[in-house]
Structure 1
């Protein structure tokens, strides 16, 4: 099976500080893969390298068999990569409907836009809030709205940067159920996450980053039992 995402020998420095070092990483189509590690391990930087917001100093990134290393972010998005960052990137003064329409307008028109907006509203459980200003939603609902904005264009790969940050346990559980639903529809998911209970809920595979390098990789049970992972994840900051 061809990997949907393949990263080879990825390196990146900022001001002489290494934030990604010799990263080799592959993502299987249809998987739900979590990326964990202490603050400063390079997780968000790795996301931005995949998305094209940062250019690597060396190494390659392939998506669905195509070398996308030098493509700009919008070109990668058009090829089927979508992203939701930790802080909701919504337009708070606009209604829920308007936020979705803004997100979809360059990809969908007419009936397709209306049908997709309706489908995403149902998926995100926001039908009753359709005319509500996005800024008036609860924190969890804002996160779900942005996930809806990210998946309305039917990406092949969804990147999520701490999707449950600030959520209640019930909201976190519901988010996990939503991601399982998306995964069942054929969307591959790569999520940065700190909440290990949530990682256990969704992950088919887990990668641990430390000092910009891959420290360990395996199933959730293998990672939990891995000697050294608890130490770096819980006790050793890499500032």
Structure 2
């Protein structure tokens, strides 16, 4: 059963048709990656799903309910959470305080400290718990924001290039975190450029090109598709 669907989703910015009639379904329990060359419309589709942009036409359904016109905060209340490419953490607060802010409205007070400790361990940030968030390494900042998104107890987690700027070891560790969250019942939709990360986590991959779905399948099917290779090399024409 699909947890998220878009139906004939279109977005125009002036005369620019950025999202072109996208019919997309994300199955419950899936880790699904959106890939494509720069300018393919990945970020716009992502922001339409989150509610940062409203579509020009079409529908967005979450758990069978029409959320096309819902505000971003309403979507978060329904169980959608997001981690953006640039970490949106509170740099002047400690790591632990950041997690406390994320968790405090979603966790009983008596369980809050234990839940923060559990999340710190999951994020590999226990030793850094008293550090100011602004002093963390880039990879640690990314992990902290993932933790803040997870603290909202989402059923659907949106990840916008979660491994951007990470080392290979950090990227692999992030993949393990995503897989663990998925095993706990979180459905994941990730926009990503790092194909090693996509190969590590993705159950299914969707390729966007010129704002439309160009190909879908497993990572092995996508890698073997000569048409996909062509658009990354700039050889495909607008169809």
**Common fold, TM-score beyond 0.5?**
yes
Gapped regions of structure 2 (runs ≥ 5): none
Give the number of aligned pairs: 237
SS at match of 1:4: strand
Q: 1:85 to 1:186 in 2, by over 3 A?
A: same
Offset of 1:115 from its aligned partner?
Answer: 2.8
Deviations 1:13-32 (A, max 9, x none): 11211110100000111111
Change (3 A) 1:83 1:210: same
Q: CA deviation at 1:109?
A: 4.7
1:191 is paired with a residue of what secondary structure?
strand
Q: 1:175-223 CA distances to partner (integer Å, 9 max, x unpaired)?
A: 1111110010000111011111111110010000011111111111111
User: Does the CA-based 8 Å contact 1:38-1:237 persist in structure 2?
Assistant: no
CA apart distance, 1:161? 0.5
* Structure 1 stretch displaced more, 213-222 or 113-122: 113-122
Q: Does 1:132 align with 2:144?
A: no
Unaligned 5+ runs, structure 1: none
How far residue 104 of structure 1 moved from its aligned partner, in angstroms, is 2.5
8 Å contact from structure 2 (residues 106, 151) kept in 1: no
State TM-score, norm by structure 1. 0.95
Residue equivalent to 2:173: 174
Q: In the alignment, which residue of structure 2 is the partner of 1:159?
A: 158
Aligned 1:77-92 pairs, distance under 5 A: 77-92=76-91
Normalising by structure 2, what TM-score? 0.95
Query: 1:61 — aligned with what?
Result: 60
Coordinate RMSD, CA, aligned: 1.4
- Matched residue, 1:74: 73
- Say which SS state the counterpart of residue 2 (structure 2) adopts: coil
